[in-house]
Amino acid sequence: MIQLRGVSKEFAHRRGSVEALHGIDLEAADGEFVAVVGRSGCGKSTLLRLIAGLVPPTRGEVLMRGRAVTGPRPDCAVLFQRPALLPWRSVLDNVLLPAEIAGERRNGSRERALGLISTMGLDGFQRRLPHELSGGMQQRVALCRSLMRRPRVLLMDEPFSALDALTRDELCAELQRTHREHPSTVVLVTHSVDEAVLLADRVVVLTPRPGRIRTVLDITLPRPRTRTEAGQAEQLARRAAELHAMLLDSES
């Protein structure tokens, strides 16, 4: 589904250039959930923007379904750290926005939007405005909006980092269920090792800048995963400890 071949990215500055990523070779299979972790400034968000077609690579190529990514694609949705909801539009109208932009029929789109809203536990809030919702609820709306057009690829840039721990756990559970029901290829950028282990099939560890792939860790634990069940919690903690060790080793 997604392929990066020898991808490097440099940004020009007045005093020269800064290399954010160097020689990235990575693949994500159809329906796979991949998490990317690393220290601040290692190029995680840049990697996501390259896949989304928001910035071009300096060297190498990014492919999606065998075709070069040259700009944003309609089958790829991006969920950022902040929900970025339109403040004058209701929950329902925010979720409907991608369908409206695509010129899709209102009745069928409305039915799908209401189904997503219900799936995310937002029944009764369809007509509320964003300022009337908590941060976690706003991010649920943003996730509904991202899934509205059934994207083949969902790119997530630290979507839960601004939320409290309990809300993050709730949204991680929702995301696992949503991915089972709508199996898009997901690439998640996160600072949270625990979040990566909980959600991903594979975790990519980047080195400090310029970001290179330090290692890729397979997470073969059964789904759904939860930190509240004793047996699973122990296994998740063990894999998280392995990841922490890899991150520390990448600094040496």
8 Å CB contact between 140 and 120: yes
pLDDT bin (cut points 50, 70, 90) of residue 32 is: very high
153-157: strand order across its sheet: 76-79, 153-157, 185-189, 33-37, 202-206, 213-218
Domain extent listing, the chain: 29-54+70-75+153-252, 86-150
Percent share of the chain, pLDDT over 70: 98
Q: 29-54+70-75+153-252 is classed in which CATH architecture?
A: 3-Layer(aba) Sandwich (3.40)
- Is the pLDDT score of 14 beyond 80? no
Which region among 5-14, 42-51, 135-144, 159-168 has the lowest average model confidence (pLDDT)?
A: 159-168
Q: Which one has a higher pLDDT value, 200 or 171?
A: 200
